[in-house]
Amino acid sequence: MADLLTHLASARIPGIFLRDRRVQALLVLGSFLPDIVSKGLYHVTRSSDNFIVPSHSVTGLLALCFALSFLLEERIRRPGFGALLAGAYLHLAVDLLKDQGGAGLLGVFHPFSPAGFQLGLVDPENVILLLPIDAAILVGAWLLERRLRRVRQ
């Protein structure tokens, strides 16, 4: 996984353009969802490495976000599902940037393909170098969002 600050920064960029703060919060939650589920299953329930593959797969996240959207009230369920799923897929896109030693992010297209994919642009052991970039993105997003809100008012 990339660090959560990077995932937060990646979700805040599209989040600027969402008016509903609840949908914004769901987009961010969606961008954390694959890691919350995989780390939770691995560390808390001691699930096997193989069992947690759907937490980082396109199909698994689709079903998971659909299930989670049913914990929301009916009137926010549809946009909530969209936000959760968009955030979760954004997470996968960010993870694909990492260098995973040639193995790639495994099982992204599970159950259709076990193949791993990676772009190998970010060294996962040196993610600390991303922290200042993430902080700059978050500050930029906050300033832009404030400006947009003023324009909308």
Partner 1 sequence: MFGNRRYGWKLGGALALVLALGALSGARGSLVNPAPWRCLAQPERWDGARIWIPAARVASADAEGFVLETEGLPFRVAGRAEVRPGDTVGVAGTFEAAGPRLRLGEWRRIGPLGGTRWIAEAVSIVVLALVAANFFRRFRFRPGAADVEGDA
Q: Pick the closer one to partner 1 by CB: 49 or 148.
A: 49
Q: Pick the closer one to partner 1 by CB: 114 or 143.
A: 114
12-71: contacts with partner 1 (CB under 8 A): 21-22, 25, 28-29, 32, 36, 47-54, 57, 59-60, 63-64, 66-67, 69-71
Q: Which residues contact 153 (CB under 8 A, 6 or more apart)?
A: none
User: What minimum distance in Å lies between the beta carbon of 126 and partner 1?
Assistant: 5
The per-residue DSSP string of 83-137 comes to HHHHHHHHHHHHHHTB--TTS-EETTTTTT---EE----B-GGGGGGGHHHHHHH
Q: Please tell me what DSSP assigns to residue 42.
A: I
Binding mask 72-111 for partner 1 (x = CB under 8 A): -xx--xx--x------------------xxxx--xx--xx
User: What minimum distance in Å lies between the beta carbon of 113 and partner 1?
Assistant: 10
Provide the β-strand partners of residue 116. 106
What's the burial of 33, exposed, middle or buried (CB within 10 Å: 0-12/13-18/19+)?
A: buried
Provide the β-strand partners of residue 117. 105
User: What minimum distance in Å lies between the beta carbon of 150 and partner 1?
Assistant: 21
136 forms part of the interface with partner 1 (CB under 8 A): no
Strands 105-106 and 116-117: antiparallel
Binding site for partner 1 (CB under 8 A): 3-5, 8, 21-22, 25, 28-29, 32, 36, 47-54, 57, 59-60, 63-64, 66-67, 69-71, 73-74, 77-78, 81, 100-103, 106-107, 110-111, 114, 124-131
